[in-house]
Amino acid sequence: FTMSQTATTTKVTASPEKLSLPTTTAEEAFMAPLPELHLQPLWTQMSKMVPPNPNPTSVPMKWAYKKCKPLLMEAGEIVGAEEAERRVLMLVNPSLDAPYTTDTIYGGLQLILPNEIAPAHRHIAFAMRFIIEGSKGFTAVEGEKMYMERGDVILTPSWHWHDHGNEGADPVIWLDGLNLPLFRHIPVNFAEMHTESRYPSTYSESCKWRHPWKEAQDGFASQTGPHRVHHYTSDGAPLSTTLGAQAEMIEPGHQTSESQESISFMYHVYEGVGQTTILSPGGKSEVIDWEANDTFSVPAWSKIVHSNKCDKHSAFLFAVTDRPLLDNLDLYTKAGQERKL
């Protein structure tokens, strides 16, 4: 009896603070039914929706050709071009999944072995290709067949039949650049296979879908200064409405001025040895050392400085950019320049 009475007394005289339950605030009560109705208050996400600076997800990344090529050649022994449809090693940004090389650009290394055919198809996505090595490889676009040489830029516009092949004795390798990331947000891309492996075509000596490296050389020759930029155009316009391309020449020992734009880049080293310093929007600085045939990505709104580490020879870079997309949507911004209203 005494123990029972003591227990009762203890319960009655317990501190009110120890028994009080957490109270629901007015804000918590307001939030509770929102998920069931698929509602979310903007004010809790405002900093994500409208950040103080461009805030890309992708990060700088280099794909060393000396490491990638052996794996690509091994893939050639494992899977055939027709079996794979396109034998490609995708360049996947570490902070994202495929098909992102940057937030807006897809890149991949494609291999065509001697006597192979990559069968004809067409798709909504736009594609360009920068030829890394090999000769007597060809692409046919809507019946126009063109042979590809190192440094060529080859276009396959949206919904154009195209196939690839290799009539030479050596492997042909190129860098693919496509606007595939757009279709993760606008899911309207699809492809159609041709009934035959080859779309009927005839050789074209001068094809508008092929831009040889000489175009870039002529562009450099028309400029002066230690850093020259050639913008590829088709009939005076960018190569497509979403992706563009440029080539850069950096004279021996030169370091370029810092640039910062709202576009992202997928760079490929045509020739030379150097490094690129990248200060990402988040404030992280990275230095990418590069040599011929390496590929590297630069996120949007990064501060970029290229340095040619050779004191005898110029360095040459090729880049796929999303500048046309931003221009067409009136989204392009360059640091230090006031946006036009």
| pLDDT score at 90 | 98
Residues 6+ positions from 8 with CB-CB distance below 8 Å? none
Q: How many CB atoms lie within 10 A of CB 228?
A: 19
Per-residue pLDDT, averaged over 225-250, amounts to 96
Per-residue pLDDT, averaged over 281-286, amounts to 94
- Residue 223 in domain: yes
Average pLDDT, the chain: 93
| pLDDT score at 197 | 86
| pLDDT score at 22 | 66
Q: How many CB atoms lie within 10 A of CB 214?
A: 11
Backbone angles phi, psi at 82, to 5 degrees: -70, -35
- Residue 18 in domain: no
- Residue 217 in domain: yes
Can you point out the beta strands (E) in 253-314?
A: 259-260, 265-271, 274-279, 285-290, 295-298, 303-308
For the domain that residue 161 is a member of, what is the CATH number?
2.60.120.10
- For residue 99, whether the previous peptide bond is cis, meaning omega lies within 30 degrees of 0, is yes
- Say if residue 7's pLDDT is above 50: no
| Closest to 72 in 3D by CA, of 3, 12, 133 | 133
Q: What residues make up the domain containing 103?
A: 61-328
Which amino acid would we find at residue 70?
P
- Say if residue 14's pLDDT is above 70: no
| pLDDT score at 10 | 45
- Say if residue 12's pLDDT is above 80: no
Number of domains in the chain: 1
Provide the pairing of β-strand 202-203 with 144-148. parallel
- Residue 195 in domain: yes
| pLDDT score at 84 | 72
